[in-house]
Every structure is written in C-alpha cells, then in structure tokens.
Chain A
Amino acid sequence: MKDKEQQFNALVTDHGDKIRRICSYYNSDPDEQKDMYQEILINIWNSLHSFRGDAAISTWIYRISVNTSLSFTGKSFRKMKLIVNTDTSNLHNLLDEDETESKLNLERNLNQLQTELNQLSVIDKSLITLLLEGLSMREIADIIGITEPNVKVKIHRIKEQLKTKFKPDGHE
C-alpha cells in the first residue's frame, strides 16, 4: 500500500497539470473541473495495479483522463461542452494553415470556434482535446484504440469542417 501511495503521489505531482488541462476542456465551472479531476484521480488510483509500463506513462494518463471524461460527461451527455481559450497552446493544430495567421484567425473568432466545436460529437470532442494537447496521430490512436488511418480520417474531417466555417470568404 505504501508503494502504491508513493507511485500515486509521484504521478499526480508529475501529471497533475495535464489532468487539470483535460478537465478544463470539458468544464467551464471550476467546481465541475474539480469533480472531474478527482474522478480521474480515483480512476488512476484504482487502475494503478494494471500499469505495467507497456505504454508510456503519459499515454496511460491520457487514456484514463479521456475514458473518465466519457463516463463523467456520460452522466450529462448532452450538456458536455468543449472549452478552448487563447491560452490553449496548440490551438493552431485545429487548422493546417500558416501557424500565426491561423492562430490569429481562431483567436479573433474564439466564440464562434467554441460554438462549432460544441456541435461535434462526444468522440470528436475527445479527439480534439488530444490534438490540442499536441499529441501525434499515433499517440491518439494508442489512446483511443483505433487505427492510425481512422484517427487521421476523423481529424481531417473535423478540420475540413472547421476550415469551411472559418474561410474568410465563407458565409460564417
């Protein structure tokens, strides 16, 4: 039990910020963020026995976070919102255009971006959170458990959807 406690403490110290960030994507309310954060910690505690080092520790943490967010938000499935803000470091990953221009464009239209992202399905929202975390397609595929080409297709589709909405000459 002592070992488990030490391992748990080390994980929370090293990856606490990452987990908090994931929670902030799904909840704007700090109390709800805290609830979700705690739920993730509980699931990390309960799954510690299954970590054998086959996957990278960050992949393992992301898996638990995404899976918990699915079950957590499953309680209020329709209410689930994806929150992004200008601090989100990988915002430019949402569009494949010139990084600066794309980021500026997105920042100008943050509210609209928020609305568009919240039209997405719960799975697409999970993919977007991992993309915003700066993970590669391979890593996302490992976390979700689907093939890399499948991840690529899904993300490409989401980006295309966003690109259409954010085209300067588009109707949006």
Chain B
Amino acid sequence: MNNELNKQQTNLPDLISLLRYEDERNKKSTNRFKIFYFVFGAVYAFVFILHFLFDEDNAWTDSLSGIFYVLAWITFALLFRKANKEYSQIDYSLPTILMLRKAAQRYKLFQPKLRIAIGAVILINIASSLNKVVIPMTQSAISDIIQFQIIFAIAISVGFIIGVLVWRKRQKPIRDNILALIDELENY
C-alpha cells in the first residue's frame, strides 16, 4: 500500500480513496473465512435436517454425528469472526504499553481460543467416528475407527507442527521484540 500511496504524492483526496480501498479490502478478507464457515455450517445443517426428517435408514449415530459436525462448523465460524475482529480493530490510539500488551497477546502461540479450536476438532473427530459406528459393532467397524483415529492423529499433529514452525519463524520474533519493549517500559 505504501508504494501505491507514494505514487499519489500524498494528495489527500487520493489518499482517502486509497484508505477506503484498504478499509474495503480488510473488511472483505477478514470476513472471508467467517462467511465460508457460516454458509458451510448452514448448508450442512440443512442437509442434515433433510436426512433426519426423510431418511428412514437414518441411525441415531448419524443424527448425533450431524449435530456434532454442525456444532464444529459454527464454532470455527465464531472463532474466525473473533480472530478477524481482533485483527481489523488494531487500535494505534491506545497508550503505547497497552497497544504492546495487546499485540503480545495476539502473537501468543497458546491463546484461549486455541482450546476452543481443539474442542471443535474433537467434535469433528467424534462426528467422523460416529459415522463409522454400526450396531451391533463388528470387528471391521472397530478397525475402521482405529484406522481413522490414527490418520486423524497424524494429520492433526502434522498440521500443529507446521503451525508451530510458521509461528516460530514469523510471529515469535515479533512477540519477543514486543515483550522486550514492554519489559523496558515497565522497569525503572
């Protein structure tokens, strides 16, 4: 954006239109994931209700699985809404130390919302496992579930490790700088 602004020679009306553009772009990008999960959750819920009402072969495990899936998508949608709200509302007019504390919180690896995300992942795990349940349980259903659990655990672990590596490379150095500044400000 700076390059674009430079071309404008700090002409105020032009700058304002660029700011508007920037506002608009931020608004769109911060809402993208939120909308995706809300729409996906709603469509999934609709299909689930149709199945529940009209599919006579629908087992209670399928119904429970559907409810868990819907809850997981809604949880993700709410998490993205919260995260994007935080991201788009960075307030530079706060006293410096408050701004730095908030930034340190944003760049923290283990945030409270991670626990909620883990909860949503567990819901998806349970929902997917319930889909494989047959009553009475057979040996093949049990091995299907075990196989799924192993693949799921590997996928989540790989995702988590990649996430941590990305955080260490991109966000940890910023957070370390911020913490050093806070420490310097607070100590006499």
Contact = CB atoms under 8 A, between A and B. Distances in A.
Interface string A115-144: 000000111001000000000000000111
A41 B181 CA distance: 24
Interface residues of A, number: 42
Interface in B96-147: 96-100
Contacts, number: 86
B185 A123 contact: yes
Given A35-B6, A121-B184, A153-B188, A74 B95 contact: no
A39 interface: yes
Contact of B15 (A38, A146, A150): A38
A145 B96 contact: yes
Interface residues of B, number: 30
Nearest to A31: B6
A90 interface: no
Interface of B: 1-2, 5-6, 10, 12, 15-16, 19-20, 22-23, 90-100, 174, 177, 181, 184-186, 188
Q: Which 9 A-B pairs have the closest CB atoms?
A: A145-B95, A145-B97, A43-B92, A47-B93, A38-B5, A67-B92, A64-B92, A144-B96, A45-B19
Interface of A: 1, 5, 8-9, 12, 31, 34-35, 37-39, 41-47, 50-51, 60, 63-64, 66-68, 70-71, 74, 77, 121-123, 126, 142-146, 150, 153-154
15 contacts: A34-B10, A35-B6, A38-B5, A38-B15, A43-B92, A45-B19, A63-B93, A64-B92, A67-B92, A67-B93, A68-B92, A74-B174, A122-B181, A144-B97, A150-B185
Given A34-B6, A67-B96, A146-B97, 16 more contacts: A5-B16, A8-B16, A34-B10, A37-B10, A41-B15, A42-B1, A42-B19, A46-B23, A47-B91, A60-B93, A122-B181, A123-B184, A144-B97, A144-B185, A145-B97, A150-B186
